[in-house]
Chains A and B, each alone.
Chain A
Amino acid sequence: GQSLEQPSEVTAVEGAIVQINCTYQTSGFYGLSWYQQHDGGAPTFLSYNALDGLEETGRFSSFLSRSDSYGYLLLQELQMKDSASYFCAVRGDDSNYQLIWGAGTKLIIKP
């Protein structure tokens, strides 16, 4: 079957750096996306990696290694508002544009 694995919960301190890992097993791969979702809210798009390497957008960066079927989201200078769930998602099929989602990582930030 197809699956994405990410930790269920990560705890960090305000101002610190945290990395959320995602490993995937899919029959095809066209890119890895990351979304942020606050409790009861809508997921919002953070980043997308189709090629190996690091993509930086402000305090957030995302990394992909296709050979390892692995990626991570790096959050720097953590703020309390970053407390949310973070989901990785893979587009594994070129024909139907469906995303395969991880179960999400709840990020808890302590002052």
Chain B
Amino acid sequence: DGGITQSPKYLFRKEGQNVTLSCEQNLNHDAMYWYRQDPGQGLRLIYYSQIVNDFQKGDIAEGYSVSREKKESFPLTVTSAQKNPTAFYLCASTEARQENTGELFFGEGSRLTVL
């Protein structure tokens, strides 16, 4: 079945460690996004990519990094520079056409907890 797969679903990190969250899609979508969700808040955009080997910062990119070496994959690294990384991270994708309707397809999310 087509969809977006995020892993791991749950992740625990010690302070000072970098962690990488995986996002893979087999929908043949061009655009991919990473969002952060905190309790009682809307989604905040971290990074997005509209084409392979290109990506742009969102509203809260500090302390995060991404790569887009393949169309199917858009991994997110949460670095030790991110001061408050405990959150629910969501990856999404869309076709160029569907971007115009705002229809994003989301993965099941990765919940990161810093110990």
Which residues of chain A have a CB within 8 Å of any CB of chain B?
A: 4, 8, 30-33, 35, 40-45, 48, 50, 87, 89, 91, 96-99, 101-104
A–B Cβ pairs within 8 angstroms, 20 of them: A4-B42, A31-B100, A32-B102, A41-B109, A42-B90, A42-B106, A43-B90, A43-B106, A48-B101, A87-B42, A96-B48, A97-B31, A98-B45, A98-B48, A99-B43, A99-B102, A101-B43, A103-B42, A104-B40, A104-B42
Nearest chain B residue, comparing its CB with the CB of A43: B106
Interchain CA distance A87-B58 in the complex, whole Å: 19
Nearest chain B residue, comparing its CB with the CB of A3: B42
Q: Say whether, besides A42-B107, A42-B108, A103-B41, A97 and B101 are in contact (CB < 8 Å).
A: no
Chain B interface residue bracket vs A = 20 to 34
A60 to chain B, nearest CB (A): 15
Which residues of chain B have a CB within 8 Å of any CB of chain A?
A: 31, 40-45, 48, 50, 56, 58, 90, 94, 99-109, 111
CB pair A102–B106 under 8 Å, yes or no, is: no
Residues of chain B within 8 A (CB-CB) of A31 are: 100-102
